[in-house]
Amino acid sequence: MRDCVIDLSHFNGLHLDFVKAKAAGIEGVIHKATQGTRYADPRMLENRRAVLEAGLLFGAYHFGTGSTTGKDQADYFLETVPQGGLLVLDFEPNPQGSTMSVRQAQDFCAAVEVHTKKPITIYTGAPMMPQAIQLGSGAFGQRPLWWAAYRRAPSNAPSGWPMALWQYSDHAQVDGIGFCDRNEFFGEDLKQFWEGSAFAGVTSGVKGEVA
């Protein structure tokens, strides 16, 4: 495992120093891009430029909602995010309204993958366990899992779904950034995973266990 990835949104504020973050051991940044079909994070493009200029890997995530079809959300996400880099579906409860269903998540992922020709990564956690188990079965288990669990070990993940990333904290201190979400990568070649297909670059393939 390598503690080398952070994820951000506009809530992390202005004037982030990604050069300092890189010096502190950060190698990849995953930034919120969109939510539903009407919201685009206002900090994403500017931070993307700064991340790439600092020599870091940049990824983007879409916060799924139940307000419209998965296909429509995928189209909006792809229209908003520049080509290249890790793409993620954030599949978690929506505190502001309806939550994305399993069917909507499946449609979202399929639409993104038709366009990019590579599997999308799925971020989720215990509050979505019944739905996550459905997503982790069959073909969906071939998509990398990014599991959120704020504890000493990434337990409680769906059984049999190899884990690529583990979000172990939502309040970690990082030089140049301040407090943010921080993640372990289960592998050795982060760039290969970031730009490749499925579990390329993931060597450990840690499998979750349902508690």
Task: Look up residue 101 and give its amino acid.
Answer: S
- When pLDDT is averaged across residues 56-61 and rounded to a whole number, the result is 98
Q: Say how far apart CA 4 and CA 185 lie, in whole Å.
A: 7
What pLDDT digit, counting tens, does each position of 129-153 carry? Answer: 888 888 777 666 778 999 999 876 6
Return the domain boundaries, the chain: 2-207
In this structure, what token pair is assigned to residue 21? 């973050």
Q: Is the pTM of this model over 0.85?
A: yes
Handedness of CA 201, 18, 53, 29 (dihedral sign): positive
CATH code linked to domain 2-207 = 3.20.20.80
Strand partners, 207: 162
User: Does 211 score more than 50 pLDDT?
Assistant: no
> Counting Cβ atoms within 10 Å, is residue 210 exposed (0-12), middle (13-18) or buried (19+)?
middle
Beta strands in 38-83 (DSSP E): 39-40, 57-63
Q: Hey, how many other C-beta atoms are within 10 angstroms of the C-beta on 134? A: 17
Strand partners, 145: 122, 163
Range in 67-71, 114-118, 125-129, 198-202 the model is least confident about = 198-202
Check residue 209 and give its pLDDT: 43
Strand partners, 128: none
CA 100, chain centre distance (Å): 16
For the chain, give the mean pLDDT. 89
Q: Say how far apart CA 128 and CA 101 lie, in whole Å.
A: 10
In this structure, what token pair is assigned to residue 143? 């998509």
- When pLDDT is averaged across residues 24-42 and rounded to a whole number, the result is 98
Residues recorded for the chain: 211
- Residue 121's nearest CA partner among 14, 206, 193, 69 is 193
Check residue 135 and give its pLDDT: 74
In this structure, what token pair is assigned to residue 91? 């599949």
Check residue 206 and give its pLDDT: 52
When pLDDT is cut at 50, 70 and 90, the band that residue 210 belongs to is very low
- When pLDDT is averaged across residues 102-129 and rounded to a whole number, the result is 92
- When pLDDT is averaged across residues 156-178 and rounded to a whole number, the result is 90
